[in-house]
């Protein structure tokens, strides 16, 4: 009977050690996998936290395309606001842009008609200097920048200080959205 008791105790100790070793191996793999996943998330490069905006700036007699990198945003309206704010800053490597100085975005609204209403400060109108072609490129650049970066919009309407204006620089009619006005291609 003593041999049976000893064999039972040895078997019990063996099972306990085997369970402990198996548990150690299992949990060490699980923890290793969690740590490597956490390291992967923590070590993401800055480029993964950025997104690109495609900007169309009026420079000289054409639109110049620039790519701007900004922190990733969620939602189409924050992207639209960032697009307009970046547009108003003007191109990086050009001093001959037609974008009026000191212009600011007051607000941006999307209607159920899928038109984005861009409410700009009066400096956008007052500080504009240029001919009909400069005015055309300014409006086309803003339109193209918004359409190329923001999904699910069909047109853009400009407001100045919350009001419709007849014209920006006295050349083009702004009481209607921009799509029909800027879709004409000059060669």
For the segment 100-155, what is each residue's pLDDT rounded down to a tens digit?
Answer: 899 999 999 999 999 999 999 999 999 888 888 888 999 999 999 999 999 989 99
The pLDDT, as a whole number, for residue 87 is: 92
The pLDDT, as a whole number, for residue 31 is: 58
- 3-class SS of residue 51: strand
The pair of structure tokens assigned to 70 is: 């900004």
Sign of CA dihedral 62, 65, 70, 75: positive
Query: What's the average model confidence in pLDDT over 160-172?
Result: 88
What's the pLDDT band for 27 if we cut at 50, 70, 90? low
The pLDDT, as a whole number, for residue 47 is: 53
pLDDT at 32 over 70: no
Residue 88's contacts (CB-CB under 8 Å, 6 or more residues apart) are: 99, 103, 104, 105, 120, 124
- 3-class SS of residue 52: strand
Residue 24's contacts (CB-CB under 8 Å, 6 or more residues apart) are: none
Instruction: Report whether 123 contacts 52 (CB < 8 A).
Output: no
Euclidean distance between CA atoms 6 and 12, whole angstroms:
10
The pLDDT, as a whole number, for residue 42 is: 46
Closest CA to 98 of 174, 168, 161: 168
- pLDDT tens for each residue of 64-82: 899 999 898 888 999 999 9
What's the pLDDT band for 181 if we cut at 50, 70, 90? confident
Closest CA to 66 of 32, 99, 20, 35: 99
The pLDDT, as a whole number, for residue 84 is: 94
- Would you kindly state where each structural domain of the chain is located, as residue ranges? 1-43, 48-182
pLDDT at 39 over 50: no
What's the pLDDT band for 48 if we cut at 50, 70, 90? low
The pLDDT, as a whole number, for residue 114 is: 92
Q: Which long-range contacts (CB under 8 A, 24 or more apart) does 51-54 make?
A: 53/79, 53/82, 53/83, 53/86, 53/145, 53/149, 54/145, 54/148, 54/149
Q: How many CB atoms lie within 10 A of CB 103?
A: 21
């Amino acid at each position: 009977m003593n041999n049976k008791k000893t064999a039972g105790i040895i078997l019990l100790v063996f099972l306990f050690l085997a369970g402990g070793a198996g548990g150690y191996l299992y949990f060490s793999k699980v923890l290793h996998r969690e740590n490597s996943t956490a390291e992967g998330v923590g070590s993401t490069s800055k480029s993964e936290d950025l997104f690109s905006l495609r900007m169309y700036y009026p420079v000289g007699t054409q639109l110049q395309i620039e790519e701007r990198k900004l922190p990733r945003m969620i939602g189409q309206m924050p992207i639209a606001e960032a697009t307009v704010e970046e547009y108003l800053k003007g191109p990086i490597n050009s001093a001959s842009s037609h974008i009026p100085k000191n212009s600011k975005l007051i607000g941006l609204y999307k209607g159920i008609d899928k038109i984005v209403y861009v409410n700009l400060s009066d400096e956008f109108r007052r500080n504009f200097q240029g001919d009909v072609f400069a005015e055309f490129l300014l409006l086309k650049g803003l339109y193209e920048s918004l359409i190329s970066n923001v999904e699910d919009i069909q047109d853009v309407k400009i407001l100045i200080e919350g009001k419709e204006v007849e014209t920006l620089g006295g050349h083009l009619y702004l009481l209607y959205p921009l799509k029909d006005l800027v879709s004409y291609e000059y060669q």
